[in-house]
Structure 1
Amino acid sequence: MQERNAWSMNGFLGIIVIAALIAGTVFSFINQQFIVGGICLIIAITLGSGITLVQPNQSVVVIFLGKYMGTIRREGIVITVPFSIRRTISLRVRNFNSKRLKVNDVNGNPIEIAAVIVFKVVDAAKAVFDVDRYEQFVEIQSETAIRAVATKYPYDTFENVELTLRGNAEEVSNELTVELQERLKVAGVKVIEARLTHLAYSTEIAQAMLQRQQADAIIAARRKIVEGAVGMVQDAIERLEKQDIVDLDEERRVAMINNLLVAIVSDNGAQPVINTGTLYQ
């Protein structure tokens, strides 16, 4: 089904014509010209049945004897196909807030997720004839798309090697928009934007996953500290030897490396023991 323009004429001009026909009908009846008056009355009633009011950002789908005659987008008063059925479809931008859905992420962890969908109808014929109740169609397909996207990614990770639902909201929203547009184009709907509005672990595992996140954060922080400490110790040893400040054998090199690593990695401040000399008997 493709949208096309329905036949219509200027409504104000049509009203003037109807008024003239009614006046002609009255004049004919007064002069006992009943046939002429009856014809004028029938034409006036026929044109009057086609009067339609179209508001801004609305379209009217015209159906006559079960056949799609076209769509009217011109705002104002118009006269279209007489005795036709006319369905008004809003072309305004609308929001749809999905319910909080419980799904499993790619790692199988149950999460709660919800999104807001911004959309509008761009093809009124598809919205009326290709789907049954397009508003409900948008709602169901939105929830399906949210579930499909949520199962592709983990909720969170500390390795930063893959996209996550929590850490890459922009990328996830873009993919959700594309997924929704693919599903809703059959209904003549354009998806303007899709954004996550709620994202959390499910209540039954929230506490356990919080502890896991804390443990992962501690491990990631420790790994970073160790990497930095090794680099600092290596740089310190190389500079000491390069500038001939001290000559270290293997045993003293190992001892210095151990002391430096302990001082840098330790949670508490290091308390060095100062060597003031050796007492010989």
Structure 2
Amino acid sequence: MSISQSIQKPQVTILPGAVAILIILAGLAMACWLPHVITQPASYGNSTRILNGDIFDWLIIPLVLFNIFMTMGFAIIEPKEARVLLFFGKFSGVMMDNGFFWINPLASTRKVSLKIENFESEQIKVNDKTGSPIMAAAVVSTQVVDPEAYTFNADDTEALVMNAIDRVLRKTVSLYAYDISGSHDANEKGNVCLRDDSEEISARFKEEIQLIVSNIGMEVLDANFTNLSYAPEIAGVMLQRQQASALMDSRKILVASTVTVVKDAIKSMESITNGQESIRMDEKTKAELAANLLTVMVSERGAQVTLPLS
């Protein structure tokens, strides 16, 4: 999800820096030339006084001060940087071009960085869908796309973003189970869990953060979890549960394979192969053979042969 850009063009006077320098130099040259414009010459002996108090002499000081004031309008706008312009407290547009410019000194400017910025949250403890305490943290990459909204819609944009990450992280973690194995939702189709870190969860997390930060002119480029784990107080118990679940799954596979082997063994004994006679067994003998084979193959220790004394 991205937000639309509504950039207002500058409404104040902006000139290329080189043009402004030429204008200021011309003004200073005029200030140096004014004393030589004599409308009321006053002679003292054989010399003529240059500064004789006429109107052109009085224009020197304001002209010099005006040119000094003009130099306050120079600004260098670097790449990935914008300037928000205010003219006597009124918003007057956004300067997005980069380079050396002269901006009306009566207009105040505010710098806005357009570079990508990462916000990483601290670890927080949240209960997941099953009520298990989870330690969670996330990192969000953002970029300013609307400098006007970024400047005026929040006093502290960083605090707003961090607060949004915290709220959305708590909400997202509480909607899903950390691990669906062994939970009451394990057999339902379409379920996702936090441990899998699915695209569905990440997309929802990113979308809900975007809804908040779009009010301050920011776009969320990426949002991912940096930490998802059980809280320390239940981590040991959950590890034992995972081990028990893995052991049970392995036992099921072993028993299913063993039953297949036993069936094939009994079937081979009762069939004729390579001209040899088959072995006929009653149901009791089959049951004893199957039990012995299952015991040998499923047992964790090797089978020990014992001989009856009688």
TM-score range relative to shorter protein: 0.7 to 0.9
Q: Find the counterpart in structure 2 of residue 221 from structure 1.
A: 250
1:19 corresponds in structure 2 to 25
Deviates more, 1:155-164 or 1:61-70: 155-164
Say which is worse superposed, 108-117 or 208-217, in terms of deviation: 208-217
Instruction: Name which of 160, 164, 185 aligns with 1:141.
Output: 164
- Residue 77 of structure 2 aligns with which residue? 54
| Closer, same or farther: CA 27–233 of 1 in aligned 2, 3 Å | farther
SS at match of 2:155: coil
Q: Which amino acid aligns with 1:224?
A: I
Question: For 1:53-132, what aligned pairs fall within 5 Å after superposition?
Answer: 53-132=76-155
Question: How far does the alpha carbon of each residue in 1:2-61 deviate from its partner, in whole angstroms, 9 at most, with x for none?
Answer: 322225331222222222223323433553426876785676466544332211111111
Listed one character per residue, the Cα deviations across residues 117-150 of structure 1 (whole Å, up to 9, x for unaligned) are 2222122112112333222211111111211221
- Aligned to 2:82, the other structure's residue is in SS state strand
Structural mapping, 1:160-239, within 5 Å: 162-168=191-197, 171-237=200-266
CA contact (8 A) 1:6 1:80 kept: no
Cα–Cα, structure 1 residues 135 and 258, in superposed 2: closer, same or farther, change >3 Å? Answer: same
| Contact kept? 2:192, 2:198, Cα under 8 Å | no
Which is further off, 163-172 or 80-89?
163-172
- Mean CA deviation greater in 237-246 or 170-179: 237-246
Larger radius of gyration: 2
Distance 2:151 2:226 in 1: 30
Q: What are structure 2's unaligned runs of at least 5 residues?
A: 38-54
Shift in alpha-carbon separation, 1:215–1:12, aligned structure 2, 3 A: same
1:6 aligns with 2:10: yes
Instruction: Tell me, in whole angstroms, the C-alpha distance in 2 between the residues paired with 1:235 and 1:229.
Output: 10
Residue range with higher mean Cα deviation, 214-223 or 37-46: 37-46
Q: List runs of 5+ in structure 1 lacking aligned partners.
A: none
Supply the distance in 2 between the matched residues of 1:241 and 1:35 (Cα, whole angstroms).
128
CA RMSD of aligned residues (A): 3.2
Distance 1:141 1:34 in 2: 63
User: Which stretch shows the higher mean deviation, 45-54 or 128-137?
Assistant: 45-54
Comparing 256-265 with 131-140, greater Cα deviation is found at 256-265
Contact 2:77 2:97 in 1 (8 A): yes
Compared with structure 1, are the counterparts of its residues 14 and 227 closer, same or farther at alpha carbon in structure 2 (3 Å cutoff)?
farther
- Cα shift at 1:274: 8.8
Q: TM-score scaled to structure 1, two decimals?
A: 0.82
Shift in alpha-carbon separation, 1:103–1:59, aligned structure 2, 3 A = same
In the alignment, is the contact (CA less than 8 A) between 2:143 and 2:219 conserved in 1?
yes
% identity of equivalent residues? 30
Match in the other structure for 2:286:
253
